[in-house]
């Protein structure tokens, strides 16, 4: 059996485990952040479509720019690492991945947004080849397999947590500010990677004993890598296509975006409104609460004049944009229509009708 030991300065026994833990922790953190950045694109595509009035072809092109850059520059990233060191290149790539989202937050046109995705993909291309290489250098022999399993699991954690964090941020702030905030994590992580990652250098493989595979094992190993590569390509292609267009398929199948929310509390006689809450969605950078409209309905019989006044206040609060689906004036008109309709439905339900 041949074991490749890529240890740097052969750390002392009492410090070897500490170096391994640091290498694994930094690599796992980088993997989680980069995979989170990669899947964050799926969250943003519907928002960018609405913001810039994009068609499916342009959305597919934008995703291709990011994914193609990520895949195409992985080998050049490895070559740069051989010359300048894997840790520095990984740190630079992490910073670029975050900068890409910061630029996307400031983008005012589709061209600038595509450029931001190119920068983000360029930075993301460094993670898989370099972080996994650093893990293999830190852990010798079969121990590296266990470490790589932990490293891969960290990527799945990032795919779950970063898009979820983005979804929560989008509730309380506009998408541009949310992207700038999340993109800033890349620069912080880059500094942490550069400072905390132990430095390793390549050393010759050391033969522990002669455990050469037999002819049958050699034949099986010859087909193992091509099979794994085919499985990886199919998995990535189907997953990316599914996640890219899933939100739009759901919308086409009738999954609606929440536009108006109303909550009414009536008195014991069910004739007068005690309190009212009205919220608007899809007509501003974040969901809008309209306390003035609710106040206009409280302590009253919920007459038509009160409903008309609440609808007018909601229209004044709304901040819609014009895009391929309709003008801002048309959407503001719909706010009034939907608020009045929702109030009457809520009133009937509150009365038990």
Within this chain, do residues 41 and 184 fall inside the same structural domain, yes or no?
yes
In a domain, 222, yes or no: no
Q: Return the pLDDT at 348.
A: 85
In a domain, 207, yes or no: no
CA-based diameter of the chain, in Å?
91
**322 HSE (CA, 13 A, CB side):** 4
In a domain, 19, yes or no: yes
Better pLDDT: 120 or 229: 120
Q: Return the pLDDT at 208.
A: 45
Within this chain, do residues 170 and 265 fall inside the same structural domain, yes or no?
no
Cα 325 to Cα 49, 196, 248, 271, 322, distances in angstroms:
11, 50, 14, 39, 8
Within this chain, do residues 193 and 328 fall inside the same structural domain, yes or no?
no
Quick check: 6 pLDDT over 60? Answer: no
Within this chain, do residues 44 and 110 fall inside the same structural domain, yes or no?
yes
Q: Return the pLDDT at 204.
A: 37
Within this chain, do residues 69 and 130 fall inside the same structural domain, yes or no?
yes
Evaluate whether 89 touches 80 at the Cβ level (below 8 Å).
yes
pTM: 0.68
**Which residue, among 152, 181, 146, has the nearest Cα to 165 in the 3D structure?**
181
Number of domains into which the chain is organized: 2
Within this chain, do residues 174 and 306 fall inside the same structural domain, yes or no?
no
Percentage of the residues of the chain whose pLDDT score is greater than 90:
28
What is the mean pLDDT of the segment spanning 294-301?
80
d(C-alpha 136, C-alpha 205), whole Å: 13
**Which residue, among 206, 204, 202, 200, has the nearest Cα to 141 in the 3D structure?**
206
d(C-alpha 305, C-alpha 100), whole Å: 50
In a domain, 70, yes or no: yes
In a domain, 212, yes or no: no
The region that residue 3 occupies, defined by phi over 0 for left and psi between -120 and 50 for alpha, beta otherwise, is: beta
In a domain, 275, yes or no: yes
219, 252, 285: which is the final residue of a domain?
252
**Which residue, among 240, 313, 298, has the nearest Cα to 266 in the 3D structure?**
298
Within this chain, do residues 273 and 161 fall inside the same structural domain, yes or no?
no
In a domain, 226, yes or no: no
Evaluate whether 31 touches 127 at the Cβ level (below 8 Å).
yes
Q: Give the CATH number of the domain where residue 275 resides.
A: 3.30.390.50
Within this chain, do residues 180 and 304 fall inside the same structural domain, yes or no?
no
Residue-range definition of the domain harbouring residue 244? 7-202+232-252
Better pLDDT: 182 or 199: 182
Looking at residue 259, the DSSP 8-state letter turns out to be -
Quick check: 15 pLDDT over 80? Answer: no
Query: Which of 223-227, 248-252, 283-287, 343-347 shows the highest mean pLDDT?
Result: 343-347
Within this chain, do residues 92 and 149 fall inside the same structural domain, yes or no?
yes
| Long-range CB contacts (within 8 A, 24+) of 54-63 | 54/110, 56/245, 56/248, 58/110, 59/244, 60/244, 61/114, 62/113, 62/114, 62/117, 63/240, 63/244
**Kind plus residue range of the DSSP H or E element containing 105:** helix 86-106
Q: Give the CATH number of the domain where residue 55 resides.
A: 1.20.1250.20
Quick check: 248 pLDDT over 90? Answer: no
d(C-alpha 45, C-alpha 250), whole Å: 14
d(C-alpha 75, C-alpha 67), whole Å: 14
In a domain, 129, yes or no: yes
Question: Which pLDDT band, with edges at 50, 70 and 90, does 246 fall under?
Answer: confident
Query: Which of 180-189, 225-234, 326-335 shows the highest mean pLDDT?
Result: 180-189
**pLDDT tens-place string over residues 97-135:** 999 999 999 998 899 999 999 999 999 999 988 988 888
**Kind plus residue range of the DSSP H or E element containing 288:** strand 288-289
224, 252, 280: which is the final residue of a domain?
252
Within this chain, do residues 153 and 12 fall inside the same structural domain, yes or no?
yes
Within this chain, do residues 288 and 195 fall inside the same structural domain, yes or no?
no
Within this chain, do residues 273 and 195 fall inside the same structural domain, yes or no?
no
252, 283, 315: which is the final residue of a domain?
252
């Amino acid at each position: 059996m041949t074991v490749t030991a890529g240890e740097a300065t052969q750390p002392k026994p009492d410090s070897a485990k500490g170096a391994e833990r640091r290498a694994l922790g930094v690599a796992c953190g980088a993997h989680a952040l980069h995979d989170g950045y990669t899947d964050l694109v799926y969250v943003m595509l519907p928002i960018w479509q609405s913001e810039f009035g994009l068609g499916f072809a342009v959305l597919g092109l934008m995703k291709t720019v990011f994914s193609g850059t990520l895949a195409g520059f992985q080998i050049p990233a490895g070559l740069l690492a051989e010359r300048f060191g894997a840790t520095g290149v990984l740190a630079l790539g992490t910073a670029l991945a975050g900068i890409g989202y910061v630029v996307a937050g400031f983008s005012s046109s589709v061209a600038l947004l595509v450029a931001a995705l190119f920068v983000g993909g360029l930075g993301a291309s460094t993670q898989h080849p370099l972080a996994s290489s650093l893990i293999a250098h830190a852990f010798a022999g079969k121990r590296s397999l266990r470490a790589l399993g932990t490293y891969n699991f960290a990527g799945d954690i990032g795919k779950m947590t970063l898009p979820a964090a983005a979804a929560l941020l989008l509730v309380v702030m506009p998408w541009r500010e949310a992207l700038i905030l999340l993109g800033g994590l890349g620069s912080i992580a880059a500094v942490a990677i550069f400072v905390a990652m132990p430095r390793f250098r390549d050393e010759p493989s050391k033969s522990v004993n002669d455990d050469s595979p037999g002819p049958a094992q050699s034949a099986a190993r010859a087909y193992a890598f091509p099979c794994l590569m085919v499985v990886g390509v199919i998995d990535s292609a189907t997953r990316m296509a599914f996640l890219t267009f899933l939100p739009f398929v759901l919308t086409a199948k009738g999954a609606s975006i929440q536009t108006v929310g109303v909550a009414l509390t009536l008195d014991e006689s069910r004739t007068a409104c005690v309190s009212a809450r009205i919220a608007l969605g899809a007509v501003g950078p974040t969901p809008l609460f309209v306390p003035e409209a609710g106040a206009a309905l409280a302590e009253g019989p919920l007459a038509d004049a009160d409903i008309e006044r609440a609808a007018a206040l909601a229209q004044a609060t709304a901040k819609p944009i014009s895009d391929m689906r309709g003008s801002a004036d048309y959407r503001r008109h719909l706010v009034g229509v939907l608020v009045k309709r929702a109030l009457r439905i809520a009133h009937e339900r509150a009365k038990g009708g």
